[in-house]
Amino acid sequence: MVTAQNTAETPTLVAALYKFTPVPDVGALIARLEAICGQYAIKGTLLVAPEGVNGTIAGAASAMRAALAAIGDDPDVGTIDWKESWASTPPFHRMKVKRKREIVTLGIGDVDPARQAGTYVKPADWNALIDEDGVVVVDTRNDYEVAIGSFEGAVDPQTKSFRDFPAWVEANKAMLDDAKKIAMFCTGGIRCEKSTAYLKSLGYESVYHLEGGILKYLEDVPKDDSRWDGACFVFDERVAVEHGLSEGDFVLCRACRRPVDPAARNHPDFEDGVSCPKCRHTLSDAQRARYRERQRQVERAAKRGDQHIGQTLKAANRPDRG
């Protein structure tokens, strides 16, 4: 058996996973998942709700394989797919298993992705679909994610959170009503499933979504054939990935939690651990002073060879990731 004692491997295996499935006892499943992740020294965040499980976890490869197998053997989870990628350094510093009302927060109670989700489209078939006449392609992610990459010609709803998506649908009914087909995508597939289920609950029939999300597309589709432009934001310390799931050249602004590219890092308003051009002028002097002190503690910890909790990517706890 693989245990926490024999998992000293590099690089780190990262798995993004979710499953819409009825969970009769959320508390009991949380306890079992905590035990599995503790046994194999896995780090990351898992969200558990009556509608299923969602999250991203990371660890040594052999330990991750064992942990994922154990999660799939759980009677309340069952067979579960995940998207794998690799990180040069551990992307999480703690393990959290959290109770939520929804594993991805839409705020509409009568949507059932397990029954209503749209038609899956494999990455190999995605280009052909979005090239068809009359297809409206919708990016279901949030504005800070879309800002660093999306599919060519995709509609950006400019949402701040996934909760804003139903309002966007209501405001854009004319466009959606006129579409021959509606093709939707997100990071790993979970928001696509819920958004397509929502549209189907409103009576739209020709609704499709990218199976496995952007991550699977970037893994499977050669760069020369790709319709993807830019990088894909991910909810861990890698910040973003590109074709082949290689790590992108982004860092995270520790104030506003937006990804910061190399050009923005050369801007006078960028201060590592404190601010970026997007948020510098929204912060008070007291906030900037607090962030500078946190950054000093992070740098001291790094010199000692330790990890400071201030480095943890709080965006990984957002309930609308994936």
Give me the catalytic one of 186, 192, 232, 276.
186
- From 52, 63, 55, select the one nearest 24 (Cα to Cα): 52
Q: Where are the beta strands (DSSP E) in the chain?
A: 12-20, 43-49, 52-59, 82-87, 95-99, 119-121, 135-139, 149-151, 181-185, 207-210, 228-230, 232-233, 240-241, 251-252, 259-260
Name residues whose C-beta falls within 8 Å of residue 228's C-beta, 6 or more positions apart in sequence. Answer: 149, 150, 151, 152, 214, 217, 218, 221, 243
Name residues whose C-beta falls within 8 Å of residue 309's C-beta, 6 or more positions apart in sequence. Answer: 93, 94
Side chain identity, residue 62 = S
- Beta strands 135-139; 240-241: pairing state: unpaired
* 253 given a catalytic annotation: no
Q: Which residues are tagged catalytic?
A: 186
